[in-house]
C-alpha cells in the first residue's frame, strides 16, 4: 500500500508519532512518505491511505491545520484517511478530532482510524514541563501506542476517538477556553511574547519558526500575527529568553522538545 503522511509540529511530538507509523508501514514492505503540511499544497490522488497528525491546542486543532485541510481539493474518489492527535493529556483532546473529521468529510475522505496519542506537554508557558526522565517515559509509551495504531491500520481494524469533556473542566470552562483561544487568543497572544535581557540576538527563534512569524528588529525578535503558539521558539531558545506577558513568565522553568527533533533540518 502507498501511505502519504502529513503533520504539523511545534516541538516534534506529532512528527515522532507519524515517523513511528512510517517505520511500521515500511517494515511491512509498504511505501510511506512523510512531510510537514503547507497551506495550499495539494495531496496526491493515488495514495491508498493518507495519515495526518496534529497537536491539540486548547481542545482544537491549530489554526494552520484547519486552513490546510480547508484548502485541500475535494478528492475525486473517496480517500481513506487516518487522524492522530498529539495531546499533552489523552483526556484533553476535546474537539480536535471532530475539527478534522468535519472538514475531511467535505473533501470526500473517509476516516478509517482516529486516536489520541499522549505525549509530553510543550505549553511550558502555562503548564509545567515534564522532567527529562518523565518525558522519556511518556514518549516511550506514546511510541508503543502508535506502533499498535499502525498495526491496527495495516490489519484493517477500525477504531475512532470518542469525544469527551475533560474531567478537569466544567462544560462552560471547556467551551470558554476553546472559543477564547480559537477566536481571540490566536490573534492576540503573539503580541504578548517578549524577551528577557538574556536574549543575545542569535536569530535561532526566527530561523526555526514553522510559520515564519518572527522578524528580527534591532537584533531582537518581534512576533507577528501568523504565530500559531506552537512553543517551538520558547522551548528551543538557547538562552531561555522568551516569555509571555500577563502570567507567562518562563524564568527557571524546564523546557521541552522531543529529543530527536531537529527543527533546522526540518526547515
Ligand atoms: C497553545 C497550546 C495549547 C495546548 N492545549 C492543549 C490541550 O487543550 N489539550 C492537551 O491535551 N494538550 C494541549 N497542549 C499540549 C500539546 O498538544 C502537546 O504537548 C503536543 O504533543 C505537542 O505536539 P508537537 O510537539 O507536535 O507540537 C497545548 C499546547 C500548546 C502549545
Ligand atoms: S533564540 Fe533566544 S537568544 Fe536567540 S534571538 Fe531568539 S530569543 Fe534571542
Ligand atoms: S513564533 Fe514561536 S510560538 Fe509562534 S509559531 Fe513561531 S515558533 Fe511557534
Q: Mean per-residue pLDDT for 144-168?
A: 96
Chain CA centroid to CA 256, Å: 14
- Tens digit of pLDDT for each residue in 1-49? 999 999 999 999 999 999 999 999 999 999 999 999 999 999 999 999 9
Residue 87 Cα to ligand 1 midpoint, Å, equals 5
Burial of 233 (0-12, 13-18, 19+ CB in 10 A): buried
Closest CA to 20 of 60, 57, 62, 51: 51
In this prediction the pTM is 0.97
* 95, 123, 135, best to mutate for ligand 1 pocket (most atoms within 8 Å of CB): 123
Cα separation of 153 and 124, whole Å?
A: 33
- CA-nearest residue for atom 19, ligand 1, is 121
Cβ of 203 closer than 6 Å to ligand 2, yes or no, is yes
Pick the CATH number of 2-154 from 3.90.580.10, 3.40.50.360, 3.40.50.150, 3.40.350.10: 3.40.50.360
What order do you get walking across the sheet with 49-55 strand by strand?
31-36, 2-7, 49-55, 79-87, 109-118
Whole-number Å distance, alpha carbon 212 to ligand 3 midpoint, is 8
Name the residue ranges covered by the structural domains of the chain. Answer: 2-154, 189-266
Q: Report how far residue 194's alpha carbon sits from residue 219's, in angstroms, rounded to the nearest whole number.
A: 13
In whole angstroms, give the CA distance from residue 71 to residue 162: 26
Q: What pLDDT score does 247 carry? A: 87
Structure confidence by residue, pLDDT tens digits, 61-83: 999 999 999 999 999 999 999 99
Under 8 Å CB-to-CB from 163, ≥6 apart: which residues?
94, 95, 97, 98
Is the domain defined by 189-266 classed in CATH 3.30.565.10? no
| Mean of per-residue pLDDT scores for the chain | 96
- How many other C-beta atoms are found inside a 10 Å radius of the C-beta of residue 144? 11
Q: Do 2-154 and 189-266 agree at the fold level?
A: no
Q: Is 100 in the pocket of ligand 3 (CB under 6 A)?
A: no
Ligand 3 geometric centre to CA of 31 (Å):
32
Distance, CA of 82 to CA of 24 (rounded, Å)? 15
Segment 211-216 shows an average pLDDT of 97
Q: Is 124 in the pocket of ligand 3 (CB under 6 A)?
A: no
Residue 214 φ/ψ, nearest 5 degrees:
-105, 125
Amino acid at each position: 500500500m502507498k501511505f502519504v503522511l502529513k503533520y504539523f509540529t511545534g516541538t516534534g511530538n506529532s512528527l515522532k508519532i507519524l515517523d513511528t507509523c512510517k517505520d511500521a508501514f515500511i517494515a511491512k514492505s509498504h511505501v510511506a512518505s512523510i512531510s510537514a503540511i503547507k497551506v495550499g499544497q495539494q495531496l496526491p490522488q493515488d495514495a491508498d491511505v493518507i495519515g495526518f497528525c496534529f497537536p491539540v491546542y486548547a481542545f482544537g486543532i491549530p489554526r494552520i491545520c484547519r486552513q490546510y485541510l480547508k484548502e485541500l481539493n475535494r478528492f475525486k474518489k473517496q480517500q481513506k484517511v487516518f487522524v492522530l492527535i498529539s495531546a499533552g493529556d489523552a483526556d484533553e483532546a476535546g474537539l480536535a478530532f471532530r475539527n478534522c473529521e468535519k472538514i475531511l468529510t467535505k473533501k470526500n475522505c473517509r476516516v478509517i482510524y482516529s486516536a489520541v496519542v499522549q505525549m509530553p506537554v510543550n505549553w511550558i508557558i502555562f503548564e509545567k514541563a515534564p522532567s527529562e526522565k518523565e518525558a522519556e517515559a511518556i514518549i516511550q509509551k506514546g511510541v508503543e501506542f502508535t506502533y499498535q495504531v499502525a498495526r491496527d491500520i495495516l490489519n484493517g481494524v477500525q477504531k475512532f476517538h470518542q469525544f469527551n469533556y475533560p474531567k478537569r473542566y466544567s462544560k462552560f470552562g471547556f467551551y470558554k477556553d476553546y472559543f477564547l483561544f480559537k477566536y481571540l487568543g490566536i490573534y492576540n497572544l503573539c503580541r504578548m511574547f517578549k524577551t528577557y535581557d538574556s536574549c543575545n540576538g542569535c536569530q535561532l527563534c526566527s530561523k526555526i519558526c514553522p510559520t515564519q512569524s518572527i522578524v528580527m528588529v534591532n537584533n531582537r525578535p518581534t512576533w507577528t500575527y501568523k504565530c500559531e503558539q506552537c512553543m517551538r521558539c520558547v522551548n528551543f531558545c538557547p538562552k531561555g529568553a522568551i516569555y509571555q506577558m500577563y502570567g507567562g513568565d518562563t524564568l527557571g522553568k524546564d523546557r521541552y522538545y522531543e529529543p530527536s527533533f531537529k527543527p533546522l533540518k526540518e526547515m
